[in-house]
Protein backbone atom coordinates (compact mmCIF):
# COMPACT_ATOMS: atom_id res chain seq x y z
CA UNK A 1 0.00 0.00 0.00
CA UNK A 2 2.91 2.35 0.65
CA UNK A 3 0.94 5.54 1.33
CA UNK A 4 0.57 6.95 4.78
CA UNK A 5 -2.82 6.84 6.46
CA UNK A 6 -2.87 10.66 6.64
CA UNK A 7 -2.52 10.97 2.85
CA UNK A 8 -5.23 8.36 2.22
CA UNK A 9 -7.62 10.06 4.65
CA UNK A 10 -6.91 13.42 3.05
CA UNK A 11 -7.77 12.06 -0.41
CA UNK A 12 -10.91 10.39 0.92
CA UNK A 13 -12.02 13.61 2.62
CA UNK A 14 -12.02 15.36 -0.78
CA UNK A 15 -14.98 13.21 -1.77
CA UNK A 16 -15.49 11.41 -5.05
CA UNK A 17 -14.53 12.83 -8.44
CA UNK A 18 -17.28 14.43 -10.47
CA UNK A 19 -17.34 11.75 -13.15
CA UNK A 20 -19.31 8.59 -12.48
CA UNK A 21 -20.13 5.42 -14.36
CA UNK A 22 -23.64 3.97 -14.43
CA UNK A 23 -24.51 0.33 -15.11
CA UNK A 24 -27.74 -1.63 -15.44
CA UNK A 25 -26.35 -4.72 -13.72
CA UNK A 26 -24.01 -5.66 -10.87
CA UNK A 27 -22.13 -8.94 -10.39
CA UNK A 28 -21.23 -9.95 -6.81
CA UNK A 29 -20.60 -13.28 -5.05
CA UNK A 30 -21.63 -15.30 -8.10
CA UNK A 31 -24.95 -13.47 -8.59
CA UNK A 32 -25.99 -10.90 -11.17
CA UNK A 33 -28.43 -8.20 -10.08
CA UNK A 34 -30.26 -6.04 -12.62
CA UNK A 35 -31.89 -2.65 -12.30
CA UNK A 36 -35.64 -2.15 -12.57
CA UNK A 37 -35.20 -0.65 -16.06
CA UNK A 38 -33.31 -3.74 -17.28
CA UNK A 39 -36.20 -6.12 -16.58
CA UNK A 40 -38.47 -4.82 -19.34
CA UNK A 41 -38.67 -7.23 -22.27
CA UNK A 42 -36.77 -9.91 -20.29
CA UNK A 43 -38.11 -13.27 -19.16
CA UNK A 44 -35.86 -13.51 -16.10
CA UNK A 45 -34.14 -10.93 -13.95
CA UNK A 46 -32.99 -10.42 -10.39
CA UNK A 47 -33.37 -6.93 -8.92
CA UNK A 48 -34.36 -7.59 -5.30
CA UNK A 49 -31.60 -7.05 -2.75
CA UNK A 50 -31.20 -7.58 0.99
CA UNK A 51 -28.44 -6.01 3.04
CA UNK A 52 -27.82 -7.70 6.35
CA UNK A 53 -27.42 -4.97 8.89
CA UNK A 54 -27.37 -3.99 12.48
CA UNK A 55 -28.15 -0.81 14.32
CA UNK A 56 -26.61 0.73 17.37
CA UNK A 57 -29.28 -0.93 19.50
CA UNK A 58 -29.72 -4.59 20.39
CA UNK A 59 -31.90 -5.16 17.30
CA UNK A 60 -30.49 -6.22 13.95
CA UNK A 61 -32.25 -4.66 11.00
CA UNK A 62 -32.05 -6.07 7.47
CA UNK A 63 -32.72 -3.71 4.58
CA UNK A 64 -34.75 -4.94 1.61
CA UNK A 65 -35.27 -3.13 -1.66
CA UNK A 66 -35.05 -3.09 -5.42
CA UNK A 67 -32.00 -2.10 -7.38
CA UNK A 68 -32.77 1.14 -9.19
CA UNK A 69 -29.30 2.34 -10.19
CA UNK A 70 -25.75 1.05 -10.07
CA UNK A 71 -23.30 3.93 -9.77
CA UNK A 72 -19.52 3.59 -9.64
CA UNK A 73 -17.69 6.40 -7.87
CA UNK A 74 -14.03 7.18 -8.40
CA UNK A 75 -12.04 8.77 -5.60
CA UNK A 76 -9.00 11.02 -5.97
CA UNK A 77 -5.63 9.28 -5.94
CA UNK A 78 -3.20 12.23 -6.00
pLDDT at 56: 67
pLDDT at 70: 87
Q: Say if residue 10's pLDDT is above 70.
A: yes
Give the whole-angstrom CA distance, residue 16 versus residue 42. 34
- Torsions phi, psi for 7 (to 5 deg): -65, -45
pLDDT at 27: 85
Q: What is the pLDDT of residues 18-63, one digit of tens each?
A: 888 998 888 888 888 888 777 777 777 677 777 777 666 677 778 7
Whether pTM > 0.75 for this model: the answer is no
Q: How confident is the model at residue 64 (pLDDT cuts 50, 70, 90)?
A: confident
Amino acid sequence: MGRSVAILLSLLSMGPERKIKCYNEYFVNGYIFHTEEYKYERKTYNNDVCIKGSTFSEFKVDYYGRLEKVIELQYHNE
